Amino acid sequence: MEFCDSCGHPTALAETESAHHTSQGLVRYRRCACGHRWVELAPFLPRPVRL
């Protein structure tokens, strides 16, 4: 998903509330500026994210 379902903002600009490594990859809990929240699963992360 590239844009927020709710307001259309690019999801790249959404905040990452938390991230967890699982056996399936990196699960990230994202929150848009409009308050819409969703869960993202990244099966592969080329580089560690700076927190």
Asked if residues 38 and 6 have their Cβ atoms less than 8 Å apart, the reply is no
* Residue 31 engages Zn ion in binding (rule: CB under 5 A): no
- Residue 44 Cβ, how far from Zn ion at the closest point, in Å? 26
32 lines the binding site for Zn ion (CB under 5 A): yes
For the bound state, the minimum distance from the C-beta of residue 14 to Zn ion, rounded and expressed in Å, comes to 7
Of 7, 39, 41, 45, the one binding Zn ion by CB under 5 A: 7
Cα gap 43→36, rounded to integer Å:
23
Q: Can you give the binding site for Zn ion, defined by CB under 5 A?
A: 4, 6-7, 9, 32, 34, 36
